[in-house]
Structure 1
Amino acid sequence: MTANSIANTKPTLTAQQLLDSYASGSRYFTQANMTGADLSGVNLSGVCLSGVRLSKGDLQGANLSGAYLSGASLSGANLSGANLRGADLTGAHLNWANLSGADLTGADLTGADISGANLSDAMLQGANLSGTYLIGAHLKGADLRQANLAQASLSKADLAGAKMGAANLVLAKLKQANLTSAELDGANLAGAMLKEANFSKAQMHKANLSKVDLTDADLTGANLSKADLSHTDLRSADLQGTNLSGANLSGADLSGVDLSQKLLTGAKFTEADLCLANLSGAYLVQASLEGANLMGANLTGAHLITTNLADANLSGANLTRANLVQANLRGACLQGTIAPNGKVHQ
């Protein structure tokens, strides 16, 4: 028996039959075929529709709070404005579904396929989206605060203006995702794939971005103050207007990156790779560059007051007009370094 013939053996259930049985107290309607059914605006709170086929169904404004929809097929369904608070949607198929403005607060969507779906302005606070497929999904303005998106696939997803404070995005895939003006304060993105992602004007105060791939990412105007960027790859990232004050960039790869005129007060660059980086005019007051690789870096006019440069590699670096008042240069390599007075150190 083929897969299609098996699927076609599912008992057909009309919308009216479902509503009549629900009104009589029945709650279990698993594995039924309700493709294209009109259930808009109905109350089905706590219903069990596990494995049900509701592809292209109309559930606009329906009350499905606490419903069991695990493994259900809702591809292309209209769930805009639906109440799905606390619903079980584990492993459900919601690709290309319309969930705009839907309330999914506290819902469980573990392993669900939501690729290409419209979740703009949806409420997903505290929802479990771990391991979900949200490739190319539209989440503009969605509320994902404290949501669990660990290992979720969000490549090319639109998260512009999304609220994601304290969200768990550990090991999530966000390559080429749009997070313009997104709120990510305190979010955990450790180990995430963020290559070529757009974080312009995003708020990421105290966010965890350790061991992240941010190569070629757009971070223009983003707020990364006190963020953890340790051991992160930032090569070719656009950091124009980015706030990195108090950020932890220990062990980060910033080789060749433009940090000119950047406010980096109190930032930690311990053992970071800043080879050939442009730090001209940067404010590195009280910053830690201990053991950092600054070989060939441009530090002309940099503010290095009370900066820790102990054991740093400054060979070939240009420190012309740099302010090194009370800076710690103990054990630093200064071979071929251009001193503040313009003389080359032998």
Structure 2
Amino acid sequence: MTTRASRTTTKPPKIDGRRPVELDDGDADDLSAHTTVERMRYSDVDLSGRDLAGVTLSECELTGVSIDGTDFTSARMVDTRIERVHAPRFSASRSTMHNVRIVDSRIGALDLYDSGLRSVVVTDSKISLINLRAGNLRDVLFRGCIIDELDLAEASLTRVAFEDSRIGDLDVNRATLAHVDLRGAEIGAIRNLDGLRGATISGHQAVALAGMFAAHLGIQIDS
């Protein structure tokens, strides 16, 4: 009797819809740490160097905003859209993002260490470094993104996918992955290959990464 190994279908992210709401134009001077802001739009303002630790943004939009060294530590963003943001340094460790869209943005270092992301979509953005160490990602999609370095060490990922994206360097040291779809990503290098367990890659990717897999397993390839 022949038995066949069961195949587990990679489940796509479940992205919540965003209902349209009326937004008021907000005054950036009113933004401060540990405040709650609802249904506000902030356009073409400079928030660089501001202390916004612990701020809550609910059903808000940040459009054309400059963020350099702004402290979003422990911030909470819900049903919020971030578009055309310029941020050499975006510091948001230990923050929470639920149903957030990041669109057409240019970010140098995005620090989301120990953060929780759920139903988050990042589209058409270039990010030099994303630090998601020890983060918890559930239902997250990267589409049309260029990411020079993606640090997922010790992070937990469930239903995370990449579409038409490029990752220069991927670190999955001690990561926990479930239904993580890497087939839509061009990957330059992967560190700590053991952490890939639970991810799906394409046959083409497997061939392209064969040298790294062989080196990891101590296999010599004789050309």
Normalising by structure 2, we get a TM-score of 0.78
Q: Which one-letter code corresponds to 1:230 in the other structure?
A: G
Select which of 205, 208, 211 maps to 1:288: 208
Change (3 A) 1:96 1:296: closer
Select which of 130, 144, 148 maps to 1:192: 130
Question: Are 2:173 and 1:253 aligned?
Answer: no
Aligned partners of 1:149 and 1:140: how far apart in 2? 20
Change (3 A) 1:165 1:111: same
Aligned partners of 1:104 and 1:94: how far apart in 2? 14
For 1:169, the equivalent position in structure 2 comes to 107
Change (3 A) 1:265 1:186: farther
Larger Rg: 1 or 2? 1
1:82 and 1:99 in contact (8 A); partners too = no
**Which sections of structure 2, spanning at least 5 residues, go unmatched?**
1-22
Change (3 A) 1:260 1:144: closer
Change (3 A) 1:145 1:266: farther
What is the Cα deviation at residue 202 of structure 1? 0.5
- Percentage identity across paired residues of the two chains: 16
For 1:334, the equivalent position in structure 2 comes to none
Select which of 58, 62, 71 maps to 1:133: 71
For 1:266, the equivalent position in structure 2 comes to 204
What is the Cα deviation at residue 83 of structure 1? 1.8
What is the Cα deviation at residue 221 of structure 1? 0.8
Q: Which one-letter code corresponds to 1:314 in the other structure?
A: I
What is the Cα deviation at residue 253 of structure 1? 0.3
Change (3 A) 1:140 1:165: same
Change (3 A) 1:265 1:193: same
Select which of 210, 214, 219 maps to 1:314: 219
What is the Cα deviation at residue 143 of structure 1? 0.7
1:246 and 1:265 in contact (8 A); partners too = no
Change (3 A) 1:258 1:105: same
- How do residues 29-108 of structure 1 correspond to structure 2 at under 5 angstroms? 82-84=24-26, 89=29, 94-108=32-46
For 1:117, the equivalent position in structure 2 comes to 55
For 2:89, the equivalent position in structure 1 comes to 151
Higher relative strand content: 2
- How do residues 5-24 of structure 1 correspond to structure 2 at under 5 angstroms? none
CA offsets per residue over residues 68-127 of structure 1, 9 Å max, x none?
xxxxxxxxxxxxx6522xx565xx861112222111122221111111111121111222
Change (3 A) 1:152 1:296: closer
For the residue of structure 1 that corresponds to 2:103, the secondary structure is: coil
**Which sections of structure 1, spanning at least 5 residues, go unmatched?**
1-80, 268-283, 298-312, 316-328, 332-346
Aligned partners of 2:119 and 2:85: how far apart in 1? 18
Question: What is the number of residues matched between the two proteins?
Answer: 201
For 1:271, the equivalent position in structure 2 comes to none
Change (3 A) 1:254 1:165: farther
For the residue of structure 1 that corresponds to 2:122, the secondary structure is: coil
* Alignment RMSD: 2.5
Higher relative helix content: 2
Change (3 A) 1:289 1:122: same
Q: Which one-letter code corresponds to 1:83 in the other structure?
A: D
2:172 and 2:196 in contact (8 A); partners too = no
Select which of 148, 162, 169 maps to 1:224: 162
What is the Cα deviation at residue 290 of structure 1? 5.1
Aligned partners of 1:100 and 1:186: how far apart in 2? 26
For 1:27, the equivalent position in structure 2 comes to none
For 2:7, the equivalent position in structure 1 comes to none
Q: Which one-letter code corresponds to 1:212 in the other structure?
A: L
Moved over 6 A (4+): none
2:179 and 2:198 in contact (8 A); partners too = no
For 2:152, the equivalent position in structure 1 comes to 214
Aligned partners of 1:133 and 1:261: how far apart in 2? 33
For 1:240, the equivalent position in structure 2 comes to 178
Greater relative CO, 1 or 2 (CA 8 Å, sep 6+): 2
1:246 and 1:266 in contact (8 A); partners too = no
